[in-house]
Chains A and B, each alone.
Chain A
Amino acid sequence: MKIAIASGKGGTGKTTLSTNLASFIAESRECVLSDLDVEEPNSGLFIKAELIHEEDKFKMIPEWEKSKCELCGNCQAVCNFNAVLKMGKMIMVFPELCHGCYACSELCPTDSLPMKQKKMGELKFYKKGNLNFIESKLIIGEEQAVPLIKQTIDYVDEKFGEDVIKIFDSPPGTSCPVIEATKDADFVILVTEPTPFGLHDLKLAVETVKQMEKPFGVVINRHGIGNDGVEMYCREDNIDIIARIPNDRLIAEIYSRGELLYSTIPSVKEAVKSISNYVDKFNSQKKRETK
């Protein structure tokens, strides 16, 4: 069972919810938390666990070999990202723009653009009891989050079976990295705040998950601030509000110390418990349907 925790707006509480939910679930069974916000992963600030494995992650980019090249320009014609350009009498490759699609390499009539490995980031695997925490981080200067997100999900899938609860802390927004982080999910939790900003970006996120035909629900964080716009929108569109986490100064204080909330704050424990129950119910219903 894969749950992606996403949001339109940044800073709504994806990581807060992911880390607390995963730790809560891990009290009773095996759970994987994976931080897919590879441009700025921060779940690790809240998870104190033992590092058991780390590895470099690579993407494949073309490298120009001058000797056989006839400068036909086919490579730049097939590149959608201007990552391969013919500049006078040479072919230039811009590794940061390359999406690793192989088109230029495969379609080169003289095999002058063989694909070569390039390090794009690092994956780390931590463990504490039932909680497995896997995070990846792009190295500075790398622009492409998608390939690293994909490889991280593949790693999680390789190590853990279908029966384990997998929680994916996704990047914010609605662009390619978010699509990559949520497209394999069985269920998407959209975290929002009850403000006009929160509502605006929630609508974008809802549009996105609807287009991907993903079942989803909403968690309202910092409940009590702002207005009732999010509540009204969810009611009108028949969107389940799975939980409401109240706005509480103590939450901010504990969070700022890099600590988990649910063991000290009853309202947070209540929220993660109801989310966990909701997800379980969804999962067993799904299992019945597929049988």
Chain B
Amino acid sequence: MKIVFTAKGTDMDAAMDPRFGRTEYFVIYDEDTKSVESYDNRAIEGEAHGAGPKTAQKLAEYGAEVLITGNGPGGNAGTALKATGTEIYVGAGDMTVTEAYEAYKAGSLKKA
């Protein structure tokens, strides 16, 4: 299972970025191989419109099955993520990536 976190850094110790569309990085954790990847999303700063769907598209390219974030995607990004069947969990904005993963595992994050 590939799980994507919106984060302010590139590893499992990074703080979560509560924003979806304009998140600074993704941390991608593959549960099967236990590998951690990251994606630098900071170029999104230059997008005046449609940051949400654009980021959702990137997520789809990584084949993410689960997204863990803070505030949750907005309407457009939500539509895009639903279309690709990504499960979304919110409320992890104040955690680190590791904490967010543990909270997800414990079932304490809200499904959006």
Minimum CB–CB distance for A85 against chain B, Å = 5
For the complex, is A197 an interface residue (Cβ under 8 Å from B)?
no
Q: What is the CA–CA distance of A92 and B77 in the complex, to the nearest angstrom?
A: 11
- Measured CB to CB, the nearest residue on chain A to B54 is A82
- Measured CB to CB, the nearest residue on chain B to A143 is B49
Q: What is the CA–CA distance of A88 and B75 in the complex, to the nearest angstrom?
A: 19
CB proximity to B under 8 Å, residues A66-103: 80-83, 85-88, 90, 92, 94, 96-97
Contact size range, B: 10 to 19
For the complex, is B53 an interface residue (Cβ under 8 Å from A)?
yes
Q: What is the CA–CA distance of A82 and B21 in the complex, to the nearest angstrom?
A: 12
Main secondary structure of the interface of A (DSSP, over half): loop
For the complex, is B36 an interface residue (Cβ under 8 Å from A)?
no
Query: B50's contact among A81, A86, A87, A88, by CB below 8 Å, is which?
Result: A81
Query: A88's contact among B47, B49, B51, B84, by CB below 8 Å, is which?
Result: B84
> Is the Cβ of A87 less than 8 Å from the Cβ of B76?
no
> Is the Cβ of A96 less than 8 Å from the Cβ of B76?
yes
> Is the Cβ of A88 less than 8 Å from the Cβ of B60?
yes
Q: What is the CA–CA distance of A81 and B50 in the complex, to the nearest angstrom?
A: 6
Q: Which of B47, B51, B76, B79 is most buried by chain A, counting CB atoms within 10 A of its CB?
A: B76
CB proximity to A under 8 Å, residues B64-93: 75-76, 79-80, 83-84
> Is the Cβ of A97 less than 8 Å from the Cβ of B76?
yes
Interface residues of chain B, those whose CB is within 8 Å of chain A, are 47, 49-51, 53-54, 56-57, 60, 75-76, 79-80, 83-84
Interface residues of chain A, those whose CB is within 8 Å of chain B, are 80-83, 85-88, 90, 92, 94, 96-97
Can you identify 13 A-B contacts, CB atoms within 8 angstroms? A82-B50, A82-B53, A83-B50, A85-B56, A86-B57, A87-B84, A88-B60, A88-B84, A90-B83, A92-B80, A94-B80, A96-B75, A97-B76
